[in-house]
Each structure stands twice: as structure tokens, then as C-alpha cells.
Amino acid sequence: MSQFIYKKPKQLQEAFSIMKENPAYSIIAGGTDLMVKMKDNRITAKVIIDVSELNDLREIKEKQGTIYLGAAVTHTEICKSELLRGFAPALVHASGLVGSPQIRNRGTVGGNIGNASPAADTIPALMAYGAEIVLASAEGVRSLALEDFFVGPGRTVISPGEVILSIEFNKLQATQAVSFEKLGKRKALAISVVNAAAFLEIDKTKAVVTKARLALGSVAAKPIRVSAAEEALIGYSLSDDKIKEVAKIVSDSITPIDDVRSEALYRKRIAGVLTQRTLIDAWKQLV
């Protein structure tokens, strides 16, 4: 492993100063992605900044219908949170499918996002909730739609001196539901071959979709939304034909690759299947 200095700031401001003084830094939270890269000497940082105990990054709270999820909250904590179990069950489901108990005990949602793997499990779930990501630096905070945060595998729009502070999204209304599904090679400790999440809002009297979000992972260079498929749902009830039509749009519009875990052709088919499953599940929660 390369040589570095380790710092664990107690305050966010202290973290910003360390970043300013040491431009060659890497942030560590749970370390479940970073440590694997360090072992392979893929990290050249001279200073490792541990954000796992910054209070500002550790909160899960709700204010006026918005849920604030601190970046350093672990998957285990997400799974145990009453608030999230009640108002973001599909996120709880996604976090519960990450790695193993050991990985979930240390791995954080901010790390899952910051690592920017196209296969990360919480990202499509959070995108389906319409989440925004909040970035903080010495200069202040800025927020952007989660889907706009990613550039490509391992690459994001985060600037030097910024940390991921939190993820924010609205509590679901009675007319809204989200569903998440993942396909891995086995049940535990499996990175997703494909994962998918669907958000539906319906007009209860007419039983038609009024709003939809479809997010998928491991089907492109970054987690994506498929807007053509979302639009095809608006104004319709979820008939078998509609589900098949939307699944086909998803399969046709994604650009997966062949890699160690799977092949592009298989991913296209599975993306369609997972789209169907998440749509049916979200619909069932509503009607």
C-alpha cells in the first residue's frame, strides 16, 4: 500500500482546511471501495481524510416532508431507520442487498454514490425517489439532481474541496410508490448484473399514471434514467401490453457492455425483465 497521512476531522470546517492544505487527498468513509483500490495501488493520495464521524454527515431526519440522509450513514443504519422503513422502503431494500452484513456495517450511502460505480445499488433507488445530492465546501453548499452527478465509471462532477454532505428527497405521498430490484449472480456478496427502480404516481380515481421515473444501473457508463420509457407511461393504466411496451423501450434504449459479470445482450433482456417487475410491484402498492 502507498504511504499517506491519516486525518479524522471532527468538524466539517476542519475537513475543508485539510483538503485545502493537501490537494492530493482522498476521502474515506467506510472504506469498502477505497481500501480495495488502495490494495491494488490505484490510489495515490498523500492524505486520507476520514469523514465517517462528521456529525453533519451522520444524520437521518425529516423536515416538512423532505428526508435528509447524511452521506456517512451506513447501509445497516439505513436498514434500521424507522423513518426510512416507513417512507423510503425501496431504498431500505436496496441497501439491504448491498454486499454482506460486514460490508453494510461499514459501507455508506455517500461512498456508494462517491465511488460512482454504474452498478451501485442505492443510486437507481435514490434516483427513483427523485433525490438531490448536496455538496459542501468551504465556499458553501450546492445541490443537483442525483442523475446529474455522474460523468462515467468512477467519475463525478465533484470539485476539489467538496464533500458529499447529504442526499435529499421528498417523502412518498399516498399516490406514489417506488420499487427496486437487483439481479446478481448469487444472493449475497454479488455486484449487480443489472439493477432497476421504478417510481409511479397515479391518479387514484382514474387509475392512470401521472408521473413516472425509471432508473437503471449497470446498463450504461453511469446509472441512468430512461425518459422515453417514463413518458410512455403517462396517462395510462398499467396493462400487460403497456408494461411490455415500456420494458421494450428500456431494453432498446440502453447501452450495456460485456464484462466479467455478464454480457450486453443478456443485460438488455434482464433490464426489460426488471423494469416489468418494478413497475408491477410499484403499481400493486397503489391500486
Ligand X SMILES: Cc1cc2nc3c(=O)[nH]c(=O)nc-3n(C[C@H](O)[C@H](O)[C@H](O)COP(=O)(O)OP(=O)(O)OC[C@H]3O[C@@H](n4cnc5c(N)ncnc54)[C@H](O)[C@@H]3O)c2cc1C
> Rule CB under 6 A: which residues touch ligand X?
26-34, 36, 51, 57, 71-72, 98-99, 103, 106-108, 110-112, 114-115, 120-121, 163-164, 189, 191
Q: Which does 4 bind (CB under 5 to 8 A by kind): ligand X, another protein, none?
A: another protein
Q: If binding is defined by CB under 8 A, does position 8 make contact with another protein?
A: yes
Q: Decide if residue 106 touches another protein (CB under 8 A).
A: yes
Identify which of residues 176 and 218 has a Cβ nearer to ligand X in the complex.
218
Choosing among ligand X, another protein, none, which partner's interface includes residue 110 (Cβ < 5 to 8 Å by kind)? ligand X
Q: Is 5 in the site for another protein (CB under 8 A)?
A: yes
Least spacing, CB of residue 106 vs another protein, in Å? 5
Q: Which is nearer to ligand X, 80 or 244 (CB)?
A: 80
Interface with another protein, residue 138, by CB under 8 A: no
Q: Which residue is nearest to ligand X (CB)?
A: 111
Site for another protein in 188-227 (CB under 8 A): 188-189
266 binds another protein (CB under 8 A): no
Question: Which one of another protein, ligand X, none is in contact with 51 (Cβ closer than 5 to 8 A by kind)?
Answer: ligand X
166 binds, among another protein, ligand X, none (CB under 5 to 8 A by kind): none
Residue that is written with C-alpha cell 482522498 in the block: 26
Sign of CA dihedral 180, 186, 187, 192: negative
According to the binding rule CB under 8 A, does residue 99 interact with another protein? yes
Q: Which does 27 bind (CB under 5 to 8 A by kind): ligand X, another protein, none?
A: ligand X
Tell me the C-alpha distance between 220 and 13, whole Å.
Answer: 36
Q: Which is nearer to ligand X, 30 or 130 (CB)?
A: 30
Number of residues that bind another protein (CB under 8 A): 30
- Given CA atoms 50, 34, 100, 285 in this order, what sign does their dihedral have? positive
One character per residue 39-78, x = contact with another protein (rule: CB under 8 A): x------x-x-x-x-----------------------x--
In this structure, the dihedral spanned by the alpha carbons of residues 95, 96, 102 and 105, taken in order and rounded to 10 degrees, is 50
Q: Is 3 near another protein (CB under 8 A)?
A: yes
Calpha distance 234→165 (Å, rounded):
34
Nearest Cα residue to 77 out of 98, 54, 108 = 108
Report in angstroms how near the CB of residue 154 gets to another protein at its nearest: 17
Contacts with another protein by CB under 8 A lie at 1-6, 8, 28, 30-32, 35-36, 38-39, 46, 48, 50, 52, 76, 99-103, 105-106, 187-189
